[in-house]
Chain A
Amino acid sequence: MQAYILKRLLTSIPVLFGVSIIVFVVMNVLPGDPAQILLGSQEVTPQQLQRLREQLHLDDPLHVRYLTMMGGALRGDLGRSIRSDRPVIEIFMDQFPSTLELTIAALIASIAIGVVAGIIAAVRQYSALDNLSMLVALLGVSMPSFWLGLLLIFVFALGLGWLPATGTGGPERLLLPALTLGVGGAGVIARLVRSSMLEVLRMEYVTTARAKGLSEHVVVLHHALRNALIPVVTVVGLEVGRLLSGAFVVEVVFSRPGIGRIAIQAINFKDYTIVQGIVLYAAALYVVVNLAVDIVYAYLDPRIRYS
């Protein structure tokens, strides 16, 4: 197990290195002078433009700029916001708890809805309930989260007045954003649990459990579900990434604070150090989550670590 963890840790290093190169290349090498973009249509003298270029280190050679960025990133320093002059790490740490809260709540919603729908669909295969569950699952995957969010606001906040539409604080403000973000993942998990359950329900040990006279719900929930859930662990890793990027949209819809909303504002304000820092941190976080999921998966299914 330790050898497997070490191997996975080592393979994550080049990925993180690649991520940093992509972010650097996209933000610094593609056509367009960041200083000029930052100034927009403002009239400035060539001296002022040059001063800004120096301030942003844009005249340094590319490899120096990359090494400077990486050196800072490894020390937790990704520069300062061009507009507010606050350190990017400080802005990130301020906003991240809200995004994390939303992501975890959405993940719980995805798993809860997805697993229940998947079990029902598998146990009642080819019934109207199965077809309905799978249609809703497909709808969940196909519906844009920003639209679903607005529909939920329209019905539950503006129409019925049951829940607040925007802001943070308290579970009542988390419910609608978490549902909005979690429904897509619930669709993916429901489809996976259904196919995984169908496979497990045909196994001999399930037949044995039935033959022993156990009730159907004990067979399904205690015997079949445990094994059927193993593949779901991998999807949860992928889901965390989808939820993290989905949070960018959902935070805007529900006017919630978070790294997504800050990143979008930063793009609109052309504050590239913030965009660069947040994207780098979000991608690194995704790599780490996937690493953790792989380790959990190897723990649950010993065949993985020996292959």
Chain B
Amino acid sequence: MNQQSSTAVLTPLVRRGSPAPGTELLRRLRRSRASVAGAVVILVFTLVAVFAAALAPYDPIQTDTSVAFGPPSVLHWFGTDNLGRDILSRIVHGARISLWIGIISVAIGAAVGTVLGLLAGYYARVVDSVIMRLTDAMLAFPGILLALIFVAALGSNLVNLMIAVGISSVPRYARLVRGSVLSAKENVYVEAARAIGCDNPRIMFRHILPNVIAPVIVVSTLGVAAAILAAASLSFLGLGIQPPTPEWGAMLSGGRDYLRTAWWITVFPGLAITLVVLSTNMLGDGLRDALDPRLKT
């Protein structure tokens, strides 16, 4: 059987006139006001991150001690820090770093976890046992502890922080994908692919993967929030991004010594983290409900 005919056999039938799955999802998502609000805030932060250089009123790293500890004012809306740097400009540039960390960490975790989950679910037996015991062991590290030892061993910088946060989320994706693969591999289209001579990697990545990826997308959305929080926590502890890079967790950490006299150094970066994480959680909840209304509480 040639390539064209195999594609014809394996292409899922789409009923004429029925809306695309994405349209239905968006319609359900639009009904939840919290999800829409979350999506709008994330969109605003994404635009701020993309156009940070144009939007920030000042250089985020340039120090000017003559205006140090300046309270919020017309010139500096969110005030200035101990070195006279404009807090608003640092938050605007920090948006780029925090969102970047969230997205790349999740991409690392989701990619590695999805491949492991595919292998475990598809090959089963020994491969499954080894991978699942590994994920069990990784899940035994509570919270940021796994990321913490990775950063401790690798050293603290942006790349290591993303790797550490990403790897610690691998088991979540691996287990999710494995569960979906176990049922997906029993489908007729997999049998059909095998019958026409597709090899295992092709069956896994071309035929099974597209059918098990939807829940991964939902978990990834929520994962971005968790990754931003984990990275900010590590930076707050001095184990993530180092000064003078404007990362929100590190900015907050830098401000805590001046809490009594200059609250704005601590309050505004924390507000930014909370807003992004809250919005991502609201959108993630909405996505989950839209994809599986039975879970709606």
Contact = CB atoms under 8 A, between A and B. Distances in A.
A27 B144 contact: no
Query: Looking at B152, B236, B274, which has the most chain A CB atoms within 10 Å of its CB?
Result: B152
Nearest to A239: B142
B270 A147 contact: yes
Interface stretch (A69-77, A82-90, A134-142, A295-303): A134-142
B259 interface: yes
A245 B144 contact: yes
Nearest to A271: B152
The residue among B134, B142, B256, B282 with the most chain A CB atoms within 10 A of its own CB is B142
B252 A150 contact: yes
Interface in B112-149: 133-134, 136-138, 140-146, 148-149
A275 B142 contact: no
B225 interface: yes
B231 to A, nearest CB: 11
A230 interface: no
Contacts of B138: 18, 22
Nearest to A286: B142
Interface stretch (B182-190, B210-218, B260-268): B260-268
A143 to B, nearest CB: 5
A173 to B, nearest CB: 18
A142 B155 CA distance: 27
A50 interface: no
Given A15-B137, A147-B266, A158-B260, A142 B233 contact: no
A141 B278 CA distance: 8
B297 A194 contact: yes
A283 B239 contact: no
Given A18-B137, A138-B281, A147 B274 contact: yes
Interface centre among B153, B266, B277 (most CB of A within 10 A): B153
Interface string A41-53: 0000000000000
A30 B239 contact: no
B239 A264 contact: yes
A19 B270 CA distance: 33
B133 A146 contact: no
A14 B233 CA distance: 30
Contacts of A263: 148
- Which residue, of A144, A195, A241, has the highest number of chain B Cβ atoms within 10 A? A144
Give the size category of B's interface with A: 35 or more
Given A150-B256, A150-B270, A195-B297, A141 B281 contact: yes
Interface in B45-86: none
A139 B259 contact: no
A32 B133 CA distance: 27
Interface in A267-281: 267-268, 272, 275-276, 279
**Chain A binding site: helix, strand, loop or mixed by DSSP?**
helix
Contact of A18 (B136, B253, B267, B282): B136
B105 to A, nearest CB: 16
Contacts of A287: 140
B179 interface: no
Contacts of A23: 149
Interface residues of A, number: 55
Contact of B297 (A144, A198, A242): A198
The CB with the most chain B CB atoms within 10 A, among A142, A276, A279, is that of A142
A26 B150 contact: yes
Contact of A15 (B136, B259, B266): B136
B233 A242 contact: no
A77 B232 CA distance: 34
B297 A191 contact: yes
Interface in A148-171: 150-151, 153-154, 158
A283 B236 CA distance: 22
Nearest to A240: B142
Contact of B155 (A18, A32, A153, A245): A32
Nearest to B228: A144
A248 interface: yes
Interface string B134-178: 101110111111101111111100000000000000000000000
Interface string A176-205: 000000000000000100110010000000
Nearest to B256: A150
28 contacts: A14-B136, A15-B136, A18-B134, A19-B140, A21-B137, A27-B153, A30-B154, A31-B154, A32-B154, A32-B155, A139-B278, A142-B277, A144-B229, A144-B252, A144-B273, A144-B274, A144-B277, A145-B233, A150-B266, A151-B267, A249-B236, A264-B239, A267-B148, A267-B151, A275-B149, A275-B152, A279-B148, A286-B142
Given A16-B140, A147-B273, 15 more contacts: A22-B138, A26-B150, A30-B153, A37-B155, A141-B281, A142-B225, A144-B249, A144-B277, A147-B270, A147-B274, A150-B259, A158-B259, A248-B237, A264-B239, A286-B140
Complex A-B, nearest 5 residue pairs according to Cβ-Cβ distance, in ascending order: A18-B137, A245-B143, A241-B142, A147-B270, A195-B297
